[in-house]
């Protein structure tokens, strides 16, 4: 019996002495400790957010959780959007519709230049996420947290004559920004997509027949003016929503390059 007890105690001590498994995550932007963090296996968002030392100037609404596990799906999303836009561009050229070809070609080139980020929607305010069990999700090796700075502008992109960066007007309805960013040929004049800086996407009616309730923009929001449905239905009815979803994965500027 003594030998058995001693053996059990020895095994227990050996278990305590084993090192705790660890993994690496990265943090960047407006934080006190940018770079690679070593956290215990099973660590959660709040562990990395608190260890990063998020600065008061960080714009928490635009903070981004970047996940390698999402890169493949977002790469497929981008490839599908570019394929559909290439197809639509070719159809427009074949039909002699230079206005549509120009609009689609410019949009295609703008999207092609954007990176695939792996961004996942997430609450990243350190203490808030610590207190919210549902939001405080587990990290995986290679995950990254990025805290941007608060911008003072919004952007209007898509089927417009030229992408616009406009001053934020607090509480102004999203559709009113369109007055300062003229439509391009073959723009949908009935709907817009609003991409808030936390990655939330909503479709807003802007015509007299479908006018939605006023929707104000947060700093750094994007208004995507979609291509007219009569044009996109020839290639994919979901093209405009796919474009908006891809735009929602992009990052706001920070004090340094994203980690």
Q: Per DSSP, what are the bridge partners of residue 202?
A: 194
Counting the structural domains of the chain, the total is 1
- Domain assignment of residue 14, yes or no: no
Tokens 């030998």 label which residue? 3
CATH of the domain at 85: 3.10.560.10
- Domain assignment of residue 96, yes or no: yes
- Domain assignment of residue 71, yes or no: no
In eight-state DSSP terms, residue 21 is P
What is the predicted pLDDT for the residue at 253? Answer: 86
What is the predicted pLDDT for the residue at 204? Answer: 98
- Domain assignment of residue 36, yes or no: no
The C-alpha atoms of residue 112 and residue 145 are separated, in whole angstroms, by: 24
- Domain assignment of residue 167, yes or no: yes
Q: Using an 8 Å Cβ cutoff, are 195 and 248 in contact?
A: yes
- Domain assignment of residue 30, yes or no: no
The C-alpha atoms of residue 181 and residue 7 are separated, in whole angstroms, by: 77
Taking each helix axis from N to C end, the angle separating 98-112 and 239-247, rounded to the nearest 10 degrees, works out to: 30
- Domain assignment of residue 13, yes or no: no
- Domain assignment of residue 176, yes or no: yes
Helices (H) and strands (E) in the chain, counts: 7, 10
Q: Give pLDDT tens digits along the chain (259 positions).
A: 444 444 444 444 444 444 557 899 999 999 999 999 999 999 999 999 999 999 999 999 999 999 999 999 999 999 999 999 999 999 999 999 999 999 999 999 999 999 999 999 999 999 999 999 999 999 999 999 999 999 999 999 999 999 999 999 999 999 999 999 999 989 999 999 999 999 999 999 999 999 999 999 999 999 999 999 999 999 999 999 999 999 999 999 887 655 5
Single out the residue of 155, 156, 159, 154 nearest to residue 107, CA to CA: 159
Domain assignment of residue 192, given as a range: 76-117+149-247
């Amino acid at each position: 019996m003594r030998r058995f007890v001693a053996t059990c105690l020895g095994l227990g001590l050996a278990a305590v002495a084993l090192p705790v498994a660890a993994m690496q995550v990265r943090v960047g932007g407006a934080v006190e400790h940018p770079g690679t963090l070593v956290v215990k296996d099973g660590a959660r968002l709040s562990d990395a957010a608190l260890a990063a030392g998020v600065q008061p100037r960080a714009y928490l609404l635009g903070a981004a959780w970047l996940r390698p596990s999402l890169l493949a799906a977002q790469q497929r999303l981008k490839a599908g959007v570019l394929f559909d836009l290439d197809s639509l561009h070719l159809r427009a050229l074949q039909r002699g519709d230079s206005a549509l070809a120009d609009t689609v070609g410019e949009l295609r080139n703008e999207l092609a230049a954007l990176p695939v980020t792996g961004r996942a929607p997430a609450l990243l305010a350190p203490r808030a996420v610590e207190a919210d069990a549902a939001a405080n999700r587990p990290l995986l090796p290679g995950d990254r947290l990025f805290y941007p700075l608060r911008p003072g502008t919004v952007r209007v992109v898509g089927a417009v004559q030229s992408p616009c960066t406009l001053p934020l007007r607090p509480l102004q309805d999203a559709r009113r920004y369109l007055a300062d960013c003229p439509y391009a040929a073959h723009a949908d004049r009935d709907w817009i997509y609003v991409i808030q800086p936390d990655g939330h996407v909503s479709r807003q009616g802007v015509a007299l027949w479908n006018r939605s309730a006023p929707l104000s923009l947060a700093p750094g929001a994007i208004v995507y003016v979609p291509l007219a449905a009569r044009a996109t239905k020839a290639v994919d009815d979901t093209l405009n929503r796919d474009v908006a979803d891809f735009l929602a994965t992009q990052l706001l500027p920070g004090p340094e390059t994203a980690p």
